[in-house]
Amino acid sequence: MWTRRNVLQSLGAGAGLVAVPAPIRRALAAAEPDLVLRLTAQRAELPLWPGAKTAVLRYFGQVLHGRADGLKPSPGYLGPTLELRRGERVRIEFRNRLAEPSIIHWHGMIVPETADGHPRFAVGPGGEYVYEFTVRNPAGTYLYHPHPHGRTGAQVYWGLAGLVIVREAEERAYGLPGPEHELSLVIQDRRVDDDQFVLKRMMMDDMNGVLGDTVLVNGAPDAAFMVTPRPWRLRLANVSNARIYKLAWSDGRPLRVIATDNGLLSAGEGVQTRPYVVLGPFERVELLEDFGERRPGAEITLLSGEFADVGMMDMMGGMMGRGMGGMMSGMMGPAQGKEMTLARFTVAAAARTPRETLRLPPSEAPPQGRHELYTRLAFRHMQGFLNGRRFEMEAVADDERLPLGEGTVWTFANDGGGMAMPHPMHIHGVRFRILERSRGDAPADLREGLVDAGFKDTFLIFPGERVRVLVAPTEPGLFMYHCHNLEHEDGGMMRNCRFGTGPSA
């Protein structure tokens, strides 16, 4: 373990700073951080169901310096929640105690190139990596998860993921519920057999992505919450490998969206009230839900509602007959669009607390979009392509370069031929706005639930659609963009993009 103390000892012994790994040299050269955390990835066994323990991979966390509340434990197999503050300088020491390489990506966070978790920085078994960055993101709900090339899907599936919550003092002035009246729900589906997770049983998983038959919330099954009759802030994150959720309340009440991937909506956008909300893999949304508007003792279920299948199972059923399609669906778990129960809520018998007046933050002036890029998505021959290309560890094409400090209008078109599939697209190291979505083959029973308002870092694009986003990078270097269906990502539907024109940091 490299620490400031043993680095100084090495220098005193004549070893020289060159003996220290480069990322650690950079971190140790920086000013002392406000918060120092350690995350260790290793195997574990947990009693998720009565009976035998379930084998998982898990992040274990420690606070080495600074606020004791910088980490909050997860009740299930998920890693601890990182509670960060805007403007805070953070150092995170990652220890890999797995049997294969790994690295952590801070999903949605704007960090330097060397702190982003690019696969080229993956460390082997027993290896370590040090991240250092200042928290620049606004208050919101973010994620962390592994990002080694070819193994992201498996490592997330077995349990390696966690929440990052960024807070700032201004939040209390907005009339939002305080942290004591928040609930975070990390939603994942898994195939479960004899209380054990089962991964990849057939080739169709590489096309659809892995779909499970059991829903877990916060790393545990059968999620249930007792809530007081008052407004609550619900932070919902889809951390499934491939499943799309259609979030809805069982009693038909609409959902009030106050934030998307990269922070609160603006006063100009206002609260987005929807009959349901569509959440693709690794998208997040925050809801303001007043449980005081329901009777004491009421029981409400958060569902993923039924919708027309947008995966390959429907197509295969048509090609081979519904009997064969049904058999394959049974082996693979419920297809996209099957109704699933996510979590249950019971309203406590207590005095109702009225909600405060909500005051969302002011709108931000958009950057000028002088530069343009165009990326065509395709899924052919069991492989995903971005402008006809697949992943190469450090390759960057001319149409994958964005200038710093000014806007780029980046058009994504899901019309490259082959298998017609939706793709959740993610761009590392930036937050962006969706300018326009041209209607393609998005199922009619999902369209009302697509929330394109606010700052995003991940978005769903359905077959035939074109989505234009406005991106303004602030950190120079080599970052990534890719499909966040984890089986598609691992299969090579991923590319580098360079922000700025200088050499790699």
Domain count, the chain: 3
Average pLDDT over residues 143-152: 98
What residues contact 361, with CB distance under 8 A and at least 6 apart? 138, 170, 174, 264, 266, 267
Q: Which residue has the higher pLDDT, 32 or 67?
A: 67
Instruction: Report DSSP letters for 372-384, one per residue.
Output: EEEEEEEEETTEE
Q: Are strands 220-221 and 255-260 parallel, antiparallel or unpaired?
A: unpaired
Max avg pLDDT among 19-33, 352-366, 424-438? 424-438
Neighbours of 162 (CB within 10 A): 26
Residues 208 and 280 in one domain: yes
Residue 393 has pLDDT above 60, yes or no: yes
pLDDT, mean of residues 361-389: 92
Contact indicator for 219, 77 with CB cutoff of 8 Å: yes
Question: Could you count the other beta carbons within 10 Å of the beta carbon of residue 365?
Answer: 6
Identify whether 341 is part of a domain: yes
Q: Based on the fold, state whether residues 243 and 374 are members of the same structural domain.
A: no
Measured N-to-C along each axis, helices 322-332 and 312-320 cross at an angle, to the nearest 10 degrees, of: 140
CB environment 223-239: b (16+ within 10 A), e (fewer) = bebebbbbbbbbbbbbb
Query: Residue 173 falls within a domain, yes or no?
Result: no
Residues 6+ apart with CB under 8 A from 26: 114, 132
Position 3 in a domain: no
d(CA 398, CA 391): 15
DSSP string, 145-171: EE--TTTHHHHHHTT--EEEEEE-GGG
Average pLDDT of 328-351?
A: 86
Residue-wise pLDDT tens digits, 191-240? 999 999 999 878 899 999 999 999 999 999 999 999 999 999 999 999 99
The two counts, helices (H) then strands (E), for the chain are 7, 33
CATH number at residue 194: 2.60.40.420
Same domain, 75 and 198: no
Q: Residue 407 forms beta bridges with which residues?
A: 369
Q: Are residues 270 and 189 in the same domain?
A: yes
Among 155-164, 210-219, 333-342, the minimum mean pLDDT is found in: 333-342
Is residue 211 in some structural domain? Answer: yes
pLDDT of residue 369: 76
End-of-domain residue from the set 103, 138, 167: 167
Same domain? For 163 and 238 the reply is: no
What share of the chain in percent tops pLDDT 90? 81
Classify residue 167 by burial, with Cβ atoms within 10 Å: 0-12, 13-18, 19+: middle
- Centroid of chain to Cα 395: 25
| pLDDT at 332 > cutoff 70 | no
- 6 inside domain: no
313 and 187 share one domain: yes
The answer, yes or no, to whether residue 28 has pLDDT greater than 70, is no
Residues in the chain: 505
Do residues 154 and 246 both lie within one domain? no
**3 state SS for 463-495:** CCCEEEEEECCCCCEEEEEEECCHHHHHCCCEE
Residues 341 and 390 in one domain: no
Amino acid identity of 337? G
> HSE on the CB side for 481, CA within 13 Å?
32
Same domain, yes or no: 336 and 208: yes
The C-alpha atoms of residue 8 and residue 19 are separated, in whole angstroms, by 11
Boundary-marking domain end, from 277, 312, 347: 347
Whole-number Å distance between alpha carbons of 13 and 238: 50
CA distance 207 to 315: 12
Residue 98 lies in a domain: yes
In a shared domain, residues 473 and 342: no
* Cα-based distances in Å from 436 to 12, 139, 363, 412, 451: 59, 25, 18, 11, 12
In a domain, 380, yes or no: yes
Question: Per the domain annotation, does 280 fall within a domain?
Answer: yes
Q: What is the Cα Rg of the chain in Å?
A: 22
Q: Express each pLDDT in 288-317 by its tens digit.
A: 999 999 999 999 999 999 999 876 554 444
Q: Domain check: are 318 and 185 in the same one?
A: yes
**Domain encompassing residue 428:** 369-499
| Token pair recorded at residue 277 | 């909300």
Among the candidates 109, 139, 167, a domain finishes at 167
| Angular region, 282: left φ>0, alpha ψ -120 to 50, beta rest | left
Residue 436 banded pLDDT, cuts 50, 70, 90: very high
Rounded CA-CA distance 131/117 in Å is: 9
Neighbours of 90 (CB within 10 A): 23
Same-domain check for residues 160 and 219: no
Q: How far is CA 90 from CA 1, 55, 83, 84, 204, in A?
A: 18, 31, 11, 8, 41
